[in-house]
Amino acid sequence: MAGGRLLVFGTNIFELTKYVFLVAILVALFFVFVGSPVFVRGESMEPNFHSGQIVIVEHLSFNAGSAVRRGDVVAAKFPLDPTHTRLIKRVVGLPGETVTVNNGHILINAKLLPEDYAPHFGAIPYPEIRETKLGSGQYFLAGDNRPGSSDSRLWGAVESSDILGRVSFVIWPPKDFQYVTRPIGD
């Protein structure tokens, strides 16, 4: 009788191990091909994203050639420390455009960029780049909390090869779980 129980117990552990291994492989494949988690650090994307949140950065459509659109929230390598730091910012300037910055307000080709998602309050804590002509494959990224964000206004354009993907979901904390919508048009 004891031997029978041991066999059942051993079979259950074997089955459980198979399922855990299968789930681990599926999660790893998801992170490699579909999306990966990124921790939100700092206040640069307030009030839309908060420090401590975990977002899923979707790679699949970027790998398939889906265009980056104005208003997308993307994860990118920090140009001053590309091997160690990933950040999330909003795409405001697209390749070929001229971006002008004045007191935290952004103009694209001399037209004020309407930004309902970016509250304008407080003084900008550093000198801003006044005008930038974006080259082919360059994007101008900005935090939604302009006075509290280090972004392209300070360190310049980001190359398309440094954009890791689009922020698609907030997954942590559970109360903040949501799909991050893409902008309707340009």
Tokens of 174: 């559970």
Instruction: Express each pLDDT in 21-38 by its tens digit.
Output: 788 777 777 666 667 888
Q: Is residue 12 part of a domain?
A: no
- Total-model pTM: 0.78
pLDDT score at 155: 86
**Domain span at 64:** 36-179
Q: Are 171 and 36 in contact (CB under 8 A)?
A: no
Determine whether 168 is an active site residue.
Answer: no
| Active-site residue, from 77, 89, 149, 152 | 89
The answer to whether residue 26 is domain-embedded is: no
Of 13-27, 59-73, 89-103, 129-143, the one with minimum mean pLDDT is 59-73
Q: Cis ω on the peptide bond leading into residue 47 (within 30° of 0)? A: yes
Whether 145 has a pLDDT exceeding 90, the answer reads no
Residue 31 inside a domain? The answer is no
The arithmetic mean of pLDDT across residues 11-27, rounded, is 78
pLDDT confidence tier of residue 65, bands split at 50, 70 and 90: very low
CA distance 58 to 76: 12
Is 18 catalytic? The answer is no
| Closest by Cα among 57, 86, 47 to 176 | 47
pLDDT of 124 reads 66
Instruction: Report yes or no on 124 lying in a domain.
Output: yes
The C-alpha atoms of residue 133 and residue 123 are separated, in whole angstroms, by 25
Give how many domains the chain has, as a whole number.
1
Q: What is the CATH number of the domain that holds 175?
A: 2.10.109.10
What pLDDT score was predicted for residue 126?
Answer: 67
Annotated catalytic residue within 44, 149, 152, 168:
44
Mean pLDDT of 113-121: 73
Residue 61: inside a domain: yes
Q: Distance between CA 143 and CA 127 in Å, rounded?
A: 15
